[in-house]
Amino acid sequence: MARRLAAALCLAVAAVSVAVATARFVVEKNSVKVLSPRSLRGRHEAAIANYGVPDYGGTLTGVVVYPDKKATGCAEFDAKFKSNCWRPHYITWFCPDAFLETTQCKAQCVNRGRYCAPDPDGDLAAGYSGRDVVLENLRQLCVHRVANARNASWLWWDYVADYHLRCSMKGDHYTRRCADDVAKSLGLPMDLIDECMGDPDADVENDVLKTEQIVQVGHGTRGDVTILPTLVINNVQYRGKLESTSVLKAICAGFKESTEPDVCLTPEMETDECLNNNGGCWRDEKTNITACKDTFRGRICQCPVVDGVQYQGDGYTHCKAVGPGRCAMNNGGCWKGTRDGKTFSACSDSDLSGCKCPPGFKGDGLHCEDVDECSEKLACSCPHCSCKNTWGSFDCSCHGNNLMYIKAEDTCIAKNMSAFGWLVTTLVLSCLAGAGVAGYVFYKYRLRRYMDSEVMAIMSQYMPLEGQNGERLPLREEAQLQRLNILAMSIRFETPRHMTATNAAMYMAKFRHHT
């Protein structure tokens, strides 16, 4: 544990050295609750270590070794701990103007002290220098730019992997020649890569490395480029192994429950908690419809939507289908019964919710039972009636073979009537028929008288008629006939539907008679 703590403090010391060179290493902080010793009991600010595999969604409890010396990490560590410190990748700092002519700046920097990296083996006089590291980092950045411009950005991954295998420092192959061979094997144009790299000895800014320094510092609370290999998910630094499964789990943990993609719910990624006792959620035993929804973080009890039908409820003890089509889903949770080939249901598609027992049944809609109309005197209560209850209805008959039951009147009448009864019935029907004919004749007479009076009133407005006082106007017969024709055309015969073509002709003849 002490060795791990020393390694973590080593990282902190390295971060301080980078900050001096205008870069910023962001240390993410959290709080640690100390129980013992009493002198340190309470909550203390702490930095999260970059080792170990975190248990996402869980807690960590353990023993922390607190050294009695060099606890803050500000003092220099022993050499055995120094060897555990890191090497930067694509991170540069600059050499102050006062030290540009020193051996350290010349061996570790390019472009006259603007971009520097530490010596990889710690010996400025032997082996590879920090300048070699800066140049290879610059070359790999230009490989990415050239490959990306050719819509083949994946070639950067191939170059980095091949260079690591073929051009290691241990084999003394960390050279420009080895880099050229790797680039040519991937079909990358070295002339474009060299053009991107520029002249490392010129006293000018290098656009590629200058950009790296800018993003290294960043514009917010976190640098866009960090010293250690780092993955940030939802603006939170990832902690754990940088391998596909672990990283995918961390990404899945960043989704809101029930919104994660299907890949997060595979057996290799998580445990389906709905498989054990349905997760403690509601389930319809008949249809196997369940409110348990598996998520990466666990499970939620939420009434589902099945075939476009929404279920509503608390998700734990009950869910009920609502809206159109609900009766197709387990009869909407309502009562349903079948007996003797007859089926009755308490669910109605015309109602968007609720259950109601059908006619002939009583109950709350969830449970319905047959109503005995006979014993409760709800039907078939006439003196000569005989009632028999059936499931959902009843049968009513009359005592004796010569009686017939009339359901609308709830009464019994004789099937065979006597001769006197038939005579009375015939007389009544005859009287009714005669009254109807007489009424129709009287109606036609009154209608004709009414039409005659209306036409005479209209004609009297244009010329004197028989029985009227007044002198006849001295009009010519031809003019009179023309006026009558115009009058006849102007009168609309939109009379009641009883006016016939014969009646209309009769009235026209009467008009001409009066002229």
| β-sheet bridge partners, residue 345 | 336
d(CA 432, CA 422): 15
Q: Among the listed ranges 4-18, 46-60, 170-184, which one has the minimum average pLDDT value?
A: 4-18
The H or E element that residue 312 is part of is: strand 309-313
**Rounded distance between C-alpha atoms, residue 188 and residue 246, angstroms:** 33
Q: pLDDT, tens digit, for every residue of 355-400?
A: 999 999 999 999 999 998 888 888 787 877 888 888 988 888 887 7
> Cis link prior to 229 (omega < 30° from 0)?
no
Going by the DSSP 8-state scheme, the letter that residue 264 receives in this structure is G
Q: What is the pLDDT of residue 15?
A: 35
Structural contact between residues 148 and 193, judged by C-beta atoms closer than 8 angstroms: no
Show me where the domains of the chain are located: 97-240, 277-330, 332-370, 372-417
CB 311 within 8 A of CB 317: no
How far does CA 514 lie from the centroid of its chain? 87
Instruction: List phi, psi (to 5°) of 163.
Output: -65, -35
Query: For the segment 35-79, what is each residue's pLDDT rounded down to a tens digit?
Result: 877 888 888 887 766 556 666 655 666 666 666 676 666 666 565
What type of residue is 312? Answer: Q
* pLDDT tens digits along 462-507: 555 555 554 444 444 454 545 555 545 444 444 444 444 455 555 5
- Is residue 311 exposed (0-12), middle (13-18) or buried (19+ Cβ within 10 Å)? buried
Give CA separation, 218 vs 27, 91, 113, 208, 224, in Å. Answer: 14, 13, 21, 16, 5
Answer yes or no: are the C-beta atoms of 14 and 91 closer than 8 Å.
no
Give me the sign of the Cα torsion angle 474, 476, 481, 483: negative
Q: Kindly report the backbone phi and psi dihedral angles of residue 475, in degrees, each rounded to the nearest multiple of 5, phi listed first.
A: -100, 150
As given in the structure block, the two tokens for residue 290 are 């369940």
- pLDDT tier for residue 85 given thresholds of 50, 70 and 90: very low
Query: What b/e readout covers 56-71, taking b as 16+ CB neighbours within 10 angstroms?
Result: beeeeeeeeeeeeeee
424-465 pLDDT, tens digit per residue, is: 656 766 777 777 778 877 777 777 777 777 777 776 665 555
pLDDT for residue 494: 41
Average predicted confidence (pLDDT) for the chain: 77
In sequence order, the 6+-apart residues with CB closer than 8 A to the CB of 396 are 379, 380, 385, 386, 387, 388, 405, 407, 410
Q: Is the pLDDT of residue 253 over 90?
A: no
Structure tokens at 38: 């009493």
Nearest to 175 by CA among 374, 146, 421, 183: 183
For 6, 159, 169, 200, the CA distances from 182, given in Å and listed in that order, are 39, 7, 15, 21
Tracing tokens 């009883």 back to the chain, one arrives at 498
- Nearest alpha carbon to residue 112 among 89, 124, 91, 96: 96
Query: Above 90 in pLDDT, residue 184?
Result: yes
Contact 348, 326 (CB under 8 A): no
Are the beta carbons of 382 and 411 closer than 8 angstroms?
Answer: yes
The SS3 assignment for 139 reads helix
Q: CA-to-CA distance for 365 and 383, rounded, in angstroms?
A: 35
Helix, strand, coil fractions of the chain, as percent rounded to 5: 35, 15, 50
Partnered with residue 283 across adjacent β-strands are: 290
pLDDT score, position 496: 44
The dihedrals phi and psi of 383, each to the nearest 5 degrees, come to -60, -40
Task: Give the whole-angstrom CA distance, residue 365 versus residue 363.
Answer: 6
Q: How far apart are CA 345 and CA 356, in angstroms?
A: 8
The residue among 437, 430, 24 whose CA lies nearest residue 216 is 24
The model's pLDDT over 398-425, given as tens digits with 9 standing for 90+, comes to 877 778 877 777 788 776 654 455 556 5
Question: Dihedrals φ, ψ of 251, to 5°?
Answer: -65, -45
Q: What is the mean pLDDT of residues 256-262?
A: 88
pTM of structure: 0.38
Query: What amino acid is encoded at 162 in this protein?
Result: D
Answer for the pair 424, 416: CB distance below 8 angstroms, yes or no.
Answer: no
Q: Is the pLDDT of residue 352 over 60?
A: yes
* Tokens representing residue 270 in the block: 């998580």
pLDDT in tens, 187-202: 999 999 999 999 999 9
- Taking each helix axis from N to C terminus, what angle separates 501-514 and 419-459, rounded to the nearest 10 degrees? 40
